[in-house]
Structure 1
Amino acid sequence: MKDLHRAVDVMHHPHQYSDLELVEALDAIQESPLKPIYKEYYKRLYKRILECKEKNKDVVGQIGYFGG
């Protein structure tokens, strides 16, 4: 993922993107010139996204959105 802005958008709107795009976004952010504090923030955000998806995977088909 070449565009850092798109990578950030993917992380903030994960319900609009595939799991592969989430992984690519995290990789792009980690390889970017962002300050370490922001890289850590997005790493933790990614972890929370995965936890939320796992917790709500049965609900996704019913409501179409795993967030809340």
Structure 2
Amino acid sequence: MPTAVPETKIVNQWRIACDGGEGALGHPRVWLQIPQEHGWVECPYCDARYIHKDFEGKIDVA
């Protein structure tokens, strides 16, 4: 059975919150800081990748 690919989201803020997005089936809310030198961060719980809008199209999401 194949594993689902983690979600990639383009965001406007450098600090964002992730809770898994599935209500009771999600995970505890965590606050993530996007490093300005990299432009992206991954959630340690669900592996969702958050990319700041300034880096959209400049990062390989593979």
Q: TM-score, normalised by structure 1?
A: 0.24
Q: Which has the larger strand fraction? A: 2
Q: Relative contact order, CA 8 A, sep 6+: which one is greater?
A: 2
Q: Which has the larger helix fraction? A: 1
